[in-house]
Amino acid sequence: MQSFLVITLILSTASIVYTQPPSLQHASLESSNQFRANEIKNAFLYAFKGYKKYAWGHDEVQPVTNTTSDNYNGWGVTIVDSLDTMIIMGIEYNDSREFIKNLEFTVNNGSTKINVFETVIRYLGGLLSAYELTKDDLFLNKSIKLGNVLLPAFDTPTGIPMGMVDLVKKKGVHGGYGRNSVLADIGTLQLEFRRLSELSRNSKYLKKAQKVIDVLQRKSTELPGLYPVFIDPYTGNFTTTWVTWGGLGDSFYEYLLKQHIMIQGKTSQYIDMWMSAVKTTMEKLVYTAKGFPNLTYLAQWKNGKPFFEMGHLACFAGGNFLLAGKFLNNTSLTNLGLNVTATCYNTYIGTNTMISPEGFGWISPNSSYILRPEVVESIFYAYRVTRDPKYQDWAWNIFKSINKFCKTSTGFSGLNNVTSLINDWNNSQQSFFFAETLKYLYLIFSNTSLISLDEWVFNTEAHPIRIGGG
Ligand SMILES: *[C@@H]1O[C@H](CO)[C@@H](O)[C@H](O)[C@H]1NC(C)=O
Ligand SMILES: *[C@@H]1O[C@H](CO)[C@@H](O)[C@H](O)[C@H]1NC(C)=O
Ligand SMILES: *[C@@H]1O[C@H](CO)[C@@H](O)[C@H](O)[C@H]1NC(C)=O
Ligand SMILES: *[C@@H]1O[C@H](CO)[C@@H](O)[C@H](O)[C@H]1NC(C)=O
Ligand SMILES: *[C@@H]1O[C@H](CO)[C@@H](O)[C@H](O)[C@H]1NC(C)=O
Ligand SMILES: *[C@@H]1O[C@H](CO)[C@@H](O)[C@H](O)[C@H]1NC(C)=O
Ligand SMILES: *[C@@H]1O[C@H](CO)[C@@H](O)[C@H](O)[C@H]1NC(C)=O
Ligand SMILES: *[C@@H]1O[C@H](CO)[C@@H](O)[C@H](O)[C@H]1NC(C)=O
Ligand SMILES: *[C@@H]1O[C@H](CO)[C@@H](O)[C@H](O)[C@H]1NC(C)=O
Ligand SMILES: *[C@@H]1O[C@H](CO)[C@@H](O)[C@H](O)[C@H]1NC(C)=O
Ligand SMILES: *[C@@H]1O[C@H](CO)[C@@H](O)[C@H](O)[C@H]1NC(C)=O
Ligand SMILES: *[C@@H]1O[C@H](CO)[C@@H](O)[C@H](O)[C@H]1NC(C)=O
């Protein structure tokens, strides 16, 4: 989901020791869904309390030193990103609402330049979802204000948006990749901008977002349906041949499918594009480990040939294939999704981690884990689609590992080295831990009618958007 260049790993290796159930706890209770959902809610409350105590109004608390960080515009991203999870978990959110009421989208302790992608998925997605769940006007009004702040990014000759907006000059500026815009950035705002247009009854947001898809659809590429990750917003030319389902590419493909679901298949444009991408992926990029047919990896494509590395971010694809399998009634997509999900879960439990008869590797030799959600996200889809309790046990094992190794006295921290049993914390608690990781975990143990996949589609930051009209 995120287009970070820093693609980090996985809780790998056998060094992960699961916590035992507390001794007074009967195993049967510990395995009850209600108990597990409640433990996850408690983890949310614990982390939110630490944030409130030490960093209220800042983007994040640094959960080891009790200090603050403001890398996401300084607009209190933890508050906005976590809001719909609070609503879903039934947690009172008055202070968050009050904060958002006073929130102006201006330069505030952060940079004067804001990242369009991060602002859309965390803030705009969070606000729209809060509105859809509560129908509280405040959240819609703020969404509209924020949408307007983002529009200057699209003022380019091609309509391909720039990576950032300068809040002072009110102009689009380049993000961190030279003159390039990034495929995942330009293709991960269509759900939000569509819903914003529907709710505000102003088509301008959707028109800008749709232009991007139209421009891309007209391009022919080396691998049909798959697009290189860098594009020049002045010429519309691709400036690399690198194709990936991981960071920089990922959520562009995710959103093609989800746009189709959101509009209930009213046009075939998005699903045609998605199907074409997946067909080519199956032909050229899906690899299975010899002797382990269920270990299914997604390769990348570089310099005219497959490149055998896969990162944690690409693990979202398991869930994306499962979602497609469900909506299109396509068993081969469902099976591919289950296989990719199982492969990614294997990186957590440590068996076969580096198995690579095909020379497969996981990005990178680095072993940090930053509370990312993609694997529990795919496990969430696997559970919802199959209802097989095995997936609940997988999710619970992951939660127990996070609880054991990432919990600090103030919240939960990313790890520098997952193979180390000492607490090698990196002092960062990303807002997606509240928005995604804990939300998907909670939903895995909740009634499947809570945020049903027949009624909601998740943005790439796990903010639910209602299927059908806004
Ligand atoms: C901005 O940072 C300053 C200095 O750290 C702090 O005093 C102020 O409260 C911050 N403002 C907000 C809205 O967080
Ligand atoms: C951070 O806060 C927690 C909880 O209030 C406290 O236990 C811990 O000692 C604090 N850490 C530092 C580095 O001040
Ligand atoms: C939160 O706000 C609601 C609605 O305004 C109010 O009914 C409730 O009493 C508030 N709760 C707290 C704890 O302030
Ligand atoms: C939202 O905006 C509408 C229209 O401008 C206004 O009538 C309404 O009072 C606003 N609601 C809130 C909660 O700010
Ligand atoms: C880039 O695109 C322009 C206009 O579409 C085209 O004329 C030009 O040849 C392209 N440049 C490269 C290097 O491909
Ligand atoms: C299922 O999806 C795959 C991959 O896109 C496609 O090749 C196949 O034709 C689909 N099967 C059916 C029955 O639609
Ligand atoms: C899905 O496909 C199965 C097997 O091909 C078929 O029995 C079933 O009726 C289909 N369901 C829908 C909703 O199309
Ligand atoms: C392999 O995956 C299929 C679904 O694609 C599943 O039915 C089967 O149980 C899996 N086998 C193992 C050993 O995990
Ligand atoms: C998934 O795994 C099963 C069981 O090992 C295998 O038979 C099947 O071919 C795999 N399917 C895909 C689409 O990878
Ligand atoms: C792994 O990479 C992250 C991000 O680049 C870095 O912060 C961390 O220190 C690295 N960890 C190790 C053990 O090298
Ligand atoms: C991570 O921890 C393991 C076990 O303590 C150690 O062997 C390894 O060198 C560490 N890796 C890095 C990059 O520090
Ligand atoms: C910890 O990980 C975050 C990503 O969540 C990264 O931005 C930050 O630089 C890392 N911090 C350290 C001290 O390595």
- DSSP 8-state secondary structure symbol assigned to residue 152: G
Question: At 423, is the pLDDT very low, low, confident or very high (cuts 50, 70, 90)?
Answer: confident
109 lines ligand 9 (CB under 6 A): no
Q: Is the pLDDT of residue 359 over 50?
A: no
Residue nearest (by alpha carbon) to ligand 12 atom 11: 426
- Looking at residue 375, what is its pLDDT? 82
The residue-averaged pLDDT of 227-248 equals 96
Q: Is the pLDDT of residue 310 over 90?
A: no
- Looking at residue 12, what is its pLDDT? 32
269 lines ligand 10 (CB under 6 A): no
Question: At 357, is the pLDDT very low, low, confident or very high (cuts 50, 70, 90)?
Answer: very low
| Cross-strand pairs, 243 | 301
Q: Does the global pTM surpass 0.95? A: no
- Looking at residue 19, what is its pLDDT? 34
Over the stretch 144-165, which tens digit does the pLDDT of each residue have? Answer: 999 999 999 999 999 999 999 9
User: What are the DSSP calls for 382-411, one per residue?
Assistant: HHHHH--HHHHHHHHHHHHHHHHHTB-SSS
Over the stretch 364-379, which tens digit does the pLDDT of each residue have? Answer: 445 556 567 678 999 9
- Residue 133 tokens read as 């769940």
Q: Which domains does the chain have, with CATH numbers?
A: 2-466 (1.50.10.10)
Rounded Cα distance, 289 and 351, in Å:
13
| Cross-strand pairs, 115 | 164
Quote the distance between the C-alpha of residue 395 and its chain's center: 17
Nearest to 84 by CA among 468, 466, 467, 469: 466
- Looking at residue 21, what is its pLDDT? 35
Instruction: Quote the crossing angle between the two packed helices 33-55 and 77-89, to the nearest 10°.
Output: 150
Over the stretch 135-145, which tens digit does the pLDDT of each residue have? Answer: 999 999 999 99
Which residue type sits at 201?
R
Q: Is the pLDDT of residue 10 over 50?
A: no
The residue-averaged pLDDT of 5-24 equals 31
Q: Is the pLDDT of residue 461 over 80?
A: yes
The residue-averaged pLDDT of 385-392 equals 97
The residue-averaged pLDDT of 262-291 equals 93
Which atom of ligand 9 is found nearest the CA of 340?
Answer: 14
Is 232 labeled as catalytic in the residue annotation? Answer: no
The residue-averaged pLDDT of 98-112 equals 91
Q: Is the pLDDT of residue 360 over 90?
A: no
Residue nearest (by alpha carbon) to ligand 11 atom 5: 420
The residue-averaged pLDDT of 395-399 equals 92
Among 56, 58, 78, name the best residue to mutate to test ligand 1's pocket (greatest count of ligand atoms within 8 A of Cβ).
58
- Looking at residue 349, what is its pLDDT? 58
Ligand 2 centroid to Cα of residue 46, in Å, is: 13
User: What are the DSSP calls for 157-219, one per residue?
Assistant: SSSPPPSEEETTTTEEE--SSTT-EEHHHHTSSHHHHHHHHHHHT-THHHHHHHHHHHHHHT-
